[in-house]
């Protein structure tokens, strides 16, 4: 199976899984993904700038991930 075929197959399987999820389950998955995005960005900021306070890390994280949304 080529890389392109694999990607198409994976997308088809993901689509099928999403079709069978309830709206509540989809929301839960999205909330988890968003939380993980924030955690990964915060970890990257801490690794690159260890001198930043936690308050500054989370302010920068919110700005990067949330696009300065309140």
How is the chain split into domains, by residue range? 23-70
pLDDT in tens, 53-70: 999 999 999 999 887 655
- The encoded tokens of residue 51 equal 């001198």
Between CA 70 and CA 47 the distance in angstroms is 25
First to last CA, the chain: 45
Closest by CA to 38, choosing from 66, 6, 8, is 66
pTM flag (> 0.75) = no
Q: Which of 46, 43, 47, 42 is nearest to 62 (CA)?
A: 42
Q: Tell me, what's the pLDDT at 49?
A: 97
């Amino acid at each position: 199976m080529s890389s392109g075929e694999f990607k198409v197959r994976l997308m088809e399987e993901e689509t099928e899984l999403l079709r069978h999820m309830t709206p509540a389950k989809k929301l839960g998955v999205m909330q988890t993904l968003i939380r993980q995005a924030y955690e990964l960005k915060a970890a990257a900021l801490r690794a690159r700038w260890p001198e930043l306070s936690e308050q500054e890390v989370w302010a920068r994280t919110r700005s990067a991930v949330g696009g300065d949304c309140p």
